[in-house]
A and B are shown apart, each in its own frame.
Chain A
């Protein structure tokens, strides 16, 4: 099977769905990539190259470059969705969600409910999350927990190319607004990806690694850090079960609870800030529903409650790493043993 990057997997998902369904359109800033530059249209294919080549095949009626105005992009996408298209809108950096939050939070997320189920809003918002590029406090956040807290939105946080393709196709075919969060440092990560289209259902976590000692729930880039920490810990005789929820809304609560019922120990790893976050949400879920199974306190490994620092040395300290994950696992593993 062909090995593809997350970038290629996302491109393939868009291309295949646009061929399958003429209602699918892409709308965003510079999605044709390069208009007005020396190279011309399609020179870049979006800020990270995901949409490169689409303008040639599908034309400007379906690959829609917009002015730099996020509220207009999201408003146009939401309107197009309720009137019959299936737009894939691009919010280049998720940090810009403040500009267009009304369109997402109070319009798209509410249409189905406000119109008594008579309207559906099949739109996808692709957006970049994550720190690690020294892009500073306004371009480095991971606010998927803010989207997750909004009823009416579905939220996807993929960690590998196989999941990215299957989840993006599912997002496009889904009849509700879906926020699709792509980590900006992960586009070149490779794994085996089928050439054919396929869908991964929302709310189905991936068990990345089997283990009986400690359950580790991790998202996006943290899945890979947790796996590296688990290799180190396995050499010490501690076996981690790593769960990647893949979607934070809906959240596969059963897989997390069943694992903790077996291990009795939980570490949640999340690159986002800790207050009102996925780490907190999952910790609360387990405290509420699996308290009797717990043999140790739940540990959260997260960023601190601060803006993302620009200085590379500070940013490195800010992002949870393998050592911090391993230390937290050792801590809960050794608790009251």
Chain B
């Protein structure tokens, strides 16, 4: 009895993805790979990303060649032990096809949808994936983003735990009213969300403004937070790219939005036209521009960060790790030095302000090891 064969299937990145296209296989059939090795590139209407191996194995058969478009869950390749018999692989492939849903409609219908939570006088949208008895992981996005910023992280990390991605007030599908939009008001909303989970302390990962909120949450409610992963967090220094903040708040046309969004990443090709369109569609909704402007005034007035969480971070006793892109053009990587000695800092080369998207495999490994350890 040999090790069973396993399938590599089309991942689901983000709420709206229904299918993906194989751009390139980075490993040939017959070669073996280690966990974290890059296997193939997949393109969706929004973004192209690399699929990495979760465990060691051998790429036995590529089922979906380059240029093939498959629905989510569709069979991309078969992996397993190098000595697997061809007949077994054949049987696996035909069995998989037979078991797979006929179209993407079934898959889409079964896909988890975001939910709304009425709490602390506001309405928050969140997406929950995964399950298990362990402490859940809560994801807090940055200024102007929404829970889709975790599209490469949340599904991967949900293999072993509940992972909940929140839309901050004024963002995504949450209520547009942000009150004063300052640190206290946003932290109250996050705190109410974490408390409503009623699961005991959770791991929190926060990006940028969400990172600063994560620190404030842990400082005000140590009973709710087990560990912190801070990805290019705000609040550890005065510098911020004011051109980005102002440009993002102001942009209503494609051209302006492209320029601003490209500041976020090291490789501008990551900013696809559909990604720009999604940002514009969000920003066109009544109330969004006002909400973003209110938050920007409270956090980033006069081109400087107005909220400092350095003292709160220094006072924490829970495990803390920092992840920063070496090429961050929004919040400089030098702010990582403000972290207390017990916090481990990881600087990822070739990543900008969105390492969780640009280097999703690395970030997922760092988070997984951290929360498991």
Footprint of B on A, CB under 8 Å?
162, 166, 194, 196-201, 204, 207, 210, 254-255
Contact = CB atoms under 8 A, between A and B. Distances in A.
A198 B253 contact: no
A198 B273 CA distance: 20
B85 interface: no
A173 to B, nearest CB: 10
A201 B285 contact: no
A196 B273 contact: no
Contacts of B253: 201, 204
A198 B280 CA distance: 11
B284 interface: yes
5 residue pairs, one from A and one from B, having the closest CB atoms: A198-B284, A197-B286, A198-B285, A196-B285, A204-B253
A166 B283 CA distance: 12
A201 B252 contact: yes
Nearest to B254: A204
Given A207-B273, A210-B273, A197 B255 contact: no
A198 B286 contact: yes
Interface of A is mostly: loop
Contacts of A199: 284, 286
B172 to A, nearest CB: 12
A200 B286 CA distance: 11
Nearest to B286: A197
B350 to A, nearest CB: 26
A207 B280 CA distance: 13
Contacts of B252: 201
Given A207-B273, A210-B273, A166 B254 contact: no
Contacts, number: 25
B201 to A, nearest CB: 34
A104 to B, nearest CB: 28
Contact of B284 (A200, A207, A254): A200
Interface string B241-261: 000000000001111000000
B293 to A, nearest CB: 16
Interface in B279-326: 281, 284-287
Contacts of B281: 162, 194, 198
A166 B273 contact: no
A192 to B, nearest CB: 9
B135 to A, nearest CB: 32
Contact of B286 (A162, A196, A254, A255): A196
Contacts of B273: 207, 210
Contacts of B255: 254
Interface core residue of B281, B284, B287 (most chain A CB under 10 Å): B284
A204 B273 CA distance: 14
Interface core residue of A162, A196, A198, A207 (most chain B CB under 10 Å): A198
A174 to B, nearest CB: 14
Nearest to A205: B254
B285 A197 contact: yes
A254 B253 CA distance: 12
A210 to B, nearest CB: 6
B244 to A, nearest CB: 21
Contacts of A207: 254, 273
Contacts of B286: 196-199
A254 B254 CA distance: 11
Nearest to B276: A207
A47 B285 CA distance: 30
Nearest to A199: B284
Contacts of B284: 166, 198-200
B254 to A, nearest CB: 7
Interface string B109-131: 00000000000000000000000
A257 to B, nearest CB: 12
Given A199-B286, A254-B255, A255-B254, 13 more contacts: A166-B284, A194-B281, A196-B287, A197-B285, A197-B286, A198-B281, A198-B285, A198-B286, A200-B284, A201-B252, A201-B253, A204-B253, A204-B254
A294 B7 CA distance: 49
25 contacts: A162-B281, A166-B284, A194-B281, A194-B285, A196-B285, A196-B286, A196-B287, A197-B285, A197-B286, A198-B281, A198-B284, A198-B285, A198-B286, A199-B284, A199-B286, A200-B284, A201-B252, A201-B253, A204-B253, A204-B254, A207-B254, A207-B273, A210-B273, A254-B255, A255-B254
A213 B287 CA distance: 40
A204 B257 CA distance: 13
Contacts of A255: 254
Interface string B227-270: 00000000000000000000000001111000000000000000
A301 to B, nearest CB: 25
B47 to A, nearest CB: 14
A190 to B, nearest CB: 15
Contacts of B287: 196
A210 B252 CA distance: 21
B256 to A, nearest CB: 10
A254 B252 CA distance: 16
A16 to B, nearest CB: 9
A196 B175 CA distance: 11
Contacts of A210: 273
A235 to B, nearest CB: 12
A165 to B, nearest CB: 10
A216 B252 CA distance: 24
A166 B286 CA distance: 11
A210 B253 CA distance: 17
Nearest to A255: B254
A197 B255 CA distance: 23
A197 B176 CA distance: 12
Contacts of A201: 252-253
Nearest to A166: B284
B137 to A, nearest CB: 27
A200 B284 CA distance: 7
Nearest to A196: B285
Contacts of A254: 255
Nearest to B255: A254
Interface in B174-190: none
Nearest to B15: A1
A207 B272 CA distance: 12
Contacts of B285: 194, 196-198
